[in-house]
Structure 1
């Protein structure tokens, strides 16, 4: 996740979809293996190597971590946001949940020391009979562990959209969200048609004297094309991080934004 520096008045007019390649800007994501078995704690190892083939070992912390790893099934189920550990050789180690057979996409979101933020991706095939789940229909609310999370905002292709997600429990708004990775919420958006990765910008920062600790968390995003997008909101309350999931459809109100347009990176 890239460290946000923007406010609502500084939102860029364009944002690129990323995570569609395993190699970009001189860096490559190398998985130790692209095959795995179904399991709840499957070891996953990988390296980020530079143009010379040497492993990258120096990173700039973004949202309190050197690297954020997103794992999700090709059918957009089984979302995980985890933080691997880096050993002295430049190899990252983490355990992930491959609950079902099929294809999974792995996204490595990081910033090389002295460089710009990059998101690289690779696929892992989990052996067994693949039974893909249909994409849930777009809805304004979802539930997770007794919490109700509502989504307010519409998305139009090529336009910056304000998306406000509000958290409640037991019929009462949650006003004491806890900072998680230097924010009250993290939002990842993936385009349903190809799992392209969309950077989303949060509004405000915990401890800035302005941003409330809930119930509302506001983000700004530009959907480059008319499509369905799956949104994953991580939020922390009572010491536990939970993930709320939504489907959001962007209509074709304007021309698509170039996926190679320059933008500030950040969640």
Structure 2
């Protein structure tokens, strides 16, 4: 290793990007460390082998990983493959040598964000490359989270629409049934009263009064379901307006912006 002992990222370094570098060429490793840390924007953790880098990745989290493609033992591509198997999203920059364009292409296929040729290494430009890679990683992560959120919203919307349709069907059926019950109650009272003695008429009217009371309760329940359906639509409309006011990470309007609110 370049330093006396390997240091893991500390809380005091949290304001700086944590950079893990693996390169078996000690002199170049020193150059990379000095170039990055001189900007005061990065905290560098150097390793001289792929195996050492993997162990470091198992112990701590880093913001960007810089790999030399050609190292004894585990190469840069080997580490990239390991990261892929671990389903890691850590952004990687591959360091390549002269005439290793094929390595760069293979690295990009395995998920590397960028590559830098040692032959054309630019001390001034390199920190910009590292910062740019990290910004692209953040953008990709934010976009993925936004997409996941949109998909969850669409699933919630589909469930809401189905529930609302069910409530609408139930309330229509209930309203029709209650209206039929009210008509039948009134007709039965009118047809039976003339044929009953005073005591029977009183009993029938008491019974009809209780029936009308129960119908009134059912009508209240039915109206509550109607109000719930309307409230659900209003809630969705408000939620959609909030989402439509927001933009995608790439600056484009949300896909829900083209949709209209559900009719009541």
Q: TM-score range by the shorter chain?
A: under 0.3
- Give TM-score, length-normalised by structure 2: 0.20
**Larger RCO: Structure 1 or Structure 2 (Cα < 8 Å, ≥ 6 residues apart)?**
1
- Give TM-score, length-normalised by structure 1: 0.20
More strand by share: 1
Larger radius of gyration: 2
More helix by share: 2
